[in-house]
Structure 1
Amino acid sequence: MVVPFIELIENPQFFLVGWSLATFALALIISIYFLRDEIAAFFQSDQKNIGNIVLWSVLGSFLVIITQWVAVTIETFVFGIKPGSQNTMDLMNVARQAPIFIVIISVLGPILEELVFRKAIFGSLHKRMNFFFAALLSGVIFAAVHQDFSHLLIYTAMGMVFAFLYVETKRIIVPIIAHMAINTFAVIVQFSVDPEQIEQQLKQLEQLQLIITGGY
């Protein structure tokens, strides 16, 4: 069904989705334009190392998952931060209303974020400082942009892993694939589990946290 233009304007949800798709797509096109020589060189190369790219993408995805788990554990049991990302919940609420928004979460978003935060920001910082500080600083910026400051550790840690994948493989496509895989996995989990069940699991984790920390 085609949604009338007036409804797109009056409905904030439709307008948000349409505007987001347009801006992400435009930003991606601009980024690809500036990287056109590097992209052309990759496809013209006789040594693309596709197998190595696939291997590191898979390993990188698992590494990001492990890093997330460790960061969540530290936030929960050391800093007393409740699990569950408001940023993720907000995005998924939009995706449930307009499934096309998943394209941004799983495809456009990861590509653009890796080009900006790893290729541009981390790449520039790494020329001026060692890996750790460049990855840490770009990771903090990556976390801040998501505006989920209670989970700053998780986003920063993930950003540092993506930077590691970029440096280790010298291919920005590797952290892009890993990022896309993680986001797609999160979407599948969110869509396959009832929101009330997620809320119940979060409450159980909170109760476990209170038991372990003695209520502090």
Structure 2
Amino acid sequence: MPNNFSIKKISLVTILLYGLVFFSPFLFKPFSPAIIIAGTTFTYILGAGLMIWLYIKNRGSAITVVEKEAKLTSLVFTLLLGISGIFIAMIIQAIVFSIETAITGVEPSSQNTQNIIAVILANPLFILATTIGGPIMEEFVFRRSLIGLTETYTGFWISAIISSSLFSVIHQDGHFFVYFFMGFFFALLYKMTGRIWTSIIAHCGMNTMVVIAQLVLHYANIELPK
């Protein structure tokens, strides 16, 4: 691939690639559950790897407005904000869940998370898809690509709202505002440093912490609210 691809072209290719990976489990449906999980894990990791390759190969020409205007661009800020973002994102999730509970009276529970944990328990290999492949792809798509495509026309804040809304909808979890505010927070991390790695660190770290916590609760036989 040439090194002079614009951010628009790279963003469109990234989104198309994500769509192919997202629907890839349907290709494995005729096979056993073990093959479906292994195949899905492979496509998630492959998709993430291809997005990283596209980003690195074209980073000289495919630059977003966020990346041009960022102030905290040093590696130190990327690491500090990325790592601290893991815990801040978890706090945001807990706060929004608490608000939902106060309004609806329904105990917080993520069906999406429970489904993922069930798959991981059946095949631990899938943890690579949920803690590495999935978060990396989502950051390249919902933060870098969608914001990169729309920010020129709408400004950052509207772009962040659009991308965070789509990020929430794609999870199909029924907790729109939980995923919306997490997505918006990841967008802020990206904006502050101009490095997609910042939000990737926070997102991968958060998913890893959630998976570990859920597995600990499972093996400790602690029943969570349904």
TM-score by length of 2: 0.75
Aligned to 1:172: 196
Q: Which has the higher contact order (CA 8 A, sep 6+)?
A: 2
**Cα 1:171–1:11 shift into 2, 3 Å:** same
Give the whole-Å Cα distance in 2 for the aligned partners of 1:76 and 1:128.
37
Cα deviation, residue 49, structure 1: 2.6
- Select which of 86, 106, 109 maps to 1:84: 109
Query: For each residue in 1:96-141, what CA deviation from the matched residue of structure 2 results, as whole angstroms up to 9, or x when unmatched?
Result: 1110100011111111110111010122222222333211111110
Q: Judge conservation of contact 1:9–1:15 (CA < 8 Å) in 2.
A: no
Q: Partner amino acid for 1:54?
A: L
Q: 1:38: which partner in 2?
A: 59
Name the CA shift for 1:82/1:122 in 2 (closer, same or farther; >3 Å): farther
**One-letter amino acid of the counterpart of residue 178, structure 1:** A
| Superposed CA RMSD | 2.4
Give the counterpart of 1:142 among 135, 159, 167: 167
**How many aligned residue pairs are there?**
187
Deviates most, 61-70 or 20-29 = 20-29
Partner of residue 16 from structure 1, selected from 12, 36, 61: 36
Tell me, yes or no, if the aligned pair for 2:143 and 2:163 is still in contact at 8 Å.
yes
Identity %, equivalent residues: 32
Q: What SS class does the counterpart of residue 175 from structure 2 fall into?
A: helix
For structure 1, the residue ranges without an aligned partner over 5 or more in a row are 1-7, 42-47, 204-216
**Contact persistence 1:65–1:182 (CA under 8 A):** yes
Relative to structure 2, which stretch is displaced further, 15-24 or 160-169? 15-24
Change (3 A) 1:114 1:194: same
| Partner residue in 1 for 2:124 | 99
Return the alpha-carbon distance in structure 1 between the equivalents of residues 192 and 178 of structure 2: 21
Q: What SS does structure 1 have at the residue aligned with 2:153?
A: coil
Residue equivalent to 1:111: 136
Task: Confirm or deny: 8 A CA contact 2:47 2:133 kept in the other structure.
Answer: no
180, 183, 191: which one aligns with 1:159: 183
TM-score (norm 1): 0.78
Distance in 2 separating the partners of 1:79 and 1:97: 33
Does structure 1 retain, via aligned residues, the 8 Å contact 2:74–2:193? no
